[in-house]
A and B are shown apart, each in its own frame.
Chain A
């Protein structure tokens, strides 16, 4: 009787475990199928020439040099603007600002901003940066738009990381006669850094794949040069992929697949760097 019930409990546990495993694997399998499909389509075009040639009307000659360099410019500038601003905002909100109605309102609003569709940021970028500040369809305008898009994500992630730092560390610093800034800079920030970095890299990973806001601010789709400064016109990997995928010829679809592979590899490298930086920071922190 009793062992019957026990058996049923074990059976339930087993079913639940299998269910969870199935759900977890479903994501992996879908990704694997996608990767397989993309690789099969694009691998034929993926060679050194693909990386070093500009786009062309002739698929055999087409490459993604301009898009790759455009993305590098875009992400570097975006990182350079969004990381200092986002982390500083998070430090202010978490460590300095009084906790009152206003700060709660700001918190809720930042949460909302993180959920705003990216096309809306594209419209804002078009009006504010491209036209009003007359930056044109430049890399800088694109980076500023991307910064708007990912700032909420960076702020939220950095705040979470700061909040996870035990208060006893702040107390210890204050009790030694540290000012708030000294306590934050020397003791709180180093502990929060791995978490902040994770958030930053995730945010940048989002930026690297975004297409809609760039299309909106008018990033070019056919670019036969590499941007040489922040005011140059540019294109980016997702735009190039979008452009190729929307052409009728099968060859260009395969080129798009090859572009996707390059984008994925770039993403993978970024995330690997993040993991590496984080592990190094954690090791020196101990």
Chain B
């Protein structure tokens, strides 16, 4: 497992982008039982990194550790370090609120606030003190989330009137409005139909120009389609981490091969 990052082939011809998030020997426990066991990996900038693995393998737990969303779950204990731009986000001086401003998140089920479309996008910036040019910021975010054309004539109508796929793109726009560096996506398409899923996948391609994306998915085709790098987790341990092409076509580990070819999971 130590050989994983070392033997990675370079991504395209350019040099390896610098890591935005580094996970160092992280163990996360719910009570006694470890959900994540000594995982180390680094997430490069402006790439899409997919975390795959069978249900209950700890994918979401790991993802939620990146923006300290596990803080809200009682009895969660973490060992090891998670570095964001080189600094540990779990030391006492770091305010988790600050972390979440820079590392946005999109959830499994679309969860817009029961308010207007505009308010959904504008709320994040406004509570964080970005109140100037709010309209422009909302428009820009909705454009980047490929939703503007569909909703620009009804910005002040309820977000709950949108379709599931539109709601999820609204949630992406809401995260983008904070101008984060990283966007974490926790199975963002699992509640959507194939057409909406394709739209979100297209969107992810565009977004990686500006943002670093980490996506948890149980859908292996999705990981193969959208991601540059893939991490395969099983029972809380990192089995394999490398370029997506390599992980899917020439997996080094037997378990990875069995999983990506659909023999279990």
Question: Which residues of A (161-198) have their CB < 8 Å from a CB of B?
Answer: 166, 168-179, 182, 186-187, 190-191
C-alpha spacing A57/B53, complex, angstroms: 85
Provide the residues of chain B in CB contact with A172, threshold 8 Å: 107, 111-113, 171, 174
A176 close to B174 (CB less than 8 A): yes
B107 close to A174 (CB less than 8 A): no
B100 close to A176 (CB less than 8 A): yes
- Which single member of B69, B114, B158 contacts A175 (CB below 8 Å)? B69
Tell whether B54 is near chain A: CB-to-CB under 8 Å: no
What does the 1/0 interface line of B110-123 toward A look like (CB < 8 Å)? 01111100000001
B113 close to A169 (CB less than 8 A): yes
A176 close to B114 (CB less than 8 A): no
- Of chain B, the residue at the smallest CB distance from A177 is B101
B178 close to A171 (CB less than 8 A): no
A169 close to B174 (CB less than 8 A): no
Tell whether B74 is near chain A: CB-to-CB under 8 Å: yes
A39 to chain B, nearest CB (A): 43
A175 close to B97 (CB less than 8 A): no
- Which single member of A175, A186, A190 contacts B100 (CB below 8 Å)? A175
A176 close to B107 (CB less than 8 A): no
Size class of the contact patch on chain B: 20 to 34
- Of chain A, the residue at the smallest CB distance from B112 is A172
B227 to chain A, nearest CB (A): 21
Provide the residues of chain B in CB contact with A99, threshold 8 Å: 74
Tell whether A286 is near chain B: CB-to-CB under 8 Å: yes
Size class of the contact patch on chain A: 20 to 34
Number of A-B contacts (CB under 8 A): 65
C-alpha spacing A169/B113, complex, angstroms: 6
- Of chain A, the residue at the smallest CB distance from B100 is A177
What does the 1/0 interface line of A32-54 toward B look like (CB < 8 Å)? 00000000000000000000000
C-alpha spacing A41/B55, complex, angstroms: 71
| Given A174-B72, A176-B127, A177-B178: A187 and B100 interface contact (C-beta under 8 Å) | no
B115 to chain A, nearest CB (A): 8
A176 close to B74 (CB less than 8 A): no
C-alpha spacing A171/B175, complex, angstroms: 12
C-alpha spacing A187/B174, complex, angstroms: 14
Provide the residues of chain A in CB contact with B74, threshold 8 Å: 98-99
Provide the residues of chain B in CB contact with A169, threshold 8 Å: 111, 113-114
Provide the residues of chain A in CB contact with B109, threshold 8 Å: 168
A286 close to B124 (CB less than 8 A): no
C-alpha spacing A191/B109, complex, angstroms: 18
| Given A177-B97, A177-B124, A186-B123: A168 and B104 interface contact (C-beta under 8 Å) | no
B113 close to A175 (CB less than 8 A): no
Provide the residues of chain B in CB contact with A179, threshold 8 Å: 97
C-alpha spacing A179/B98, complex, angstroms: 10
A220 to chain B, nearest CB (A): 49
Provide the residues of chain B in CB contact with A173, threshold 8 Å: 113
Tell whether A285 is near chain B: CB-to-CB under 8 Å: yes
A282 to chain B, nearest CB (A): 10
C-alpha spacing A285/B115, complex, angstroms: 6
Provide the residues of chain B in CB contact with A176, threshold 8 Å: 100-101, 104, 123-124, 127-128, 174-175, 178
Provide the residues of chain B in CB contact with A182, threshold 8 Å: 127
A37 to chain B, nearest CB (A): 46
C-alpha spacing A169/B123, complex, angstroms: 13
Question: Which residues of A (12-60) have their CB < 8 Å from a CB of B?
Answer: none
Provide the residues of chain A in CB contact with B111, threshold 8 Å: 166, 168-169, 171-172
A163 to chain B, nearest CB (A): 15
A175 close to B67 (CB less than 8 A): yes
C-alpha spacing A33/B124, complex, angstroms: 57
Tell whether B105 is near chain A: CB-to-CB under 8 Å: yes
A193 to chain B, nearest CB (A): 11
Given A174-B72, A286-B158, 12 more pairs with CB closer than 8 A = A171-B111, A174-B69, A175-B107, A176-B104, A176-B123, A177-B124, A178-B97, A182-B127, A186-B123, A191-B114, A285-B114, A286-B114
- Which residues from chain A sit less than 8 Å from chain B, CB to CB? 98-99, 166, 168-179, 182, 186-187, 190-191, 285-286
Closest 5 CB pairs of A and B: A177-B101, A176-B124, A168-B111, A175-B105, A177-B100
9 pairs across A/B with beta carbons < 8 Å? A168-B111, A169-B111, A172-B111, A172-B113, A173-B113, A176-B128, A176-B174, A186-B127, A187-B113
